[in-house]
C-alpha cells in the first residue's frame, strides 16, 4: 500500500487479504499480504471499517475509487 503511494516501507506484518473474523480455517488458510505496520494499522483498518480508504491522491482527491466522492 505504501509502495502505491510512492513511499515504500519495509513490511513487518503478515496481513490477511480477506478478514478472517475469528474463522480458524480462514485464519490458517487465507491469502496473506505483506504490509508495513502503518499501512496495516491505519489504511487497512480504515478499509475494513468503512469499505474504502480515506487517503488522498496526488491531486488531493480521494485515491480510492470506492470512496463516496466518486458516486
4 pLDDT tier (thresholds 50, 70, 90) = confident
pLDDT(29) > 80: yes
Burial class (CB in 10 A: 0-12, 13-18, 19+), 31: exposed
pLDDT band at 35 (very low <50, low <70, confident <90, very high): very high
Predicted pLDDT at 19: 87
CA distance 6 to 21: 31
Amino acid at each position: 500500500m505504501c509502495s502505491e503511494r510512492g513511499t515504500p516501507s519495509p513490511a513487518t506484518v503478515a496481513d490477511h487479504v480477506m478478514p478472517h473474523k475469528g474463522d480458524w480455517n480462514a485464519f490458517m488458510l487465507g491469502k496473506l499480504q505483506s504490509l508495513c505496520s502503518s499501512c496495516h494499522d491505519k489504511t487497512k483498518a480504515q478499509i475494513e471499517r468503512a469499505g474504502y480508504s480515506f487517503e488522498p491522491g496526488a491531486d488531493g482527491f480521494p485515491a480510492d475509487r470506492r470512496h463516496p466522492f466518486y458516486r
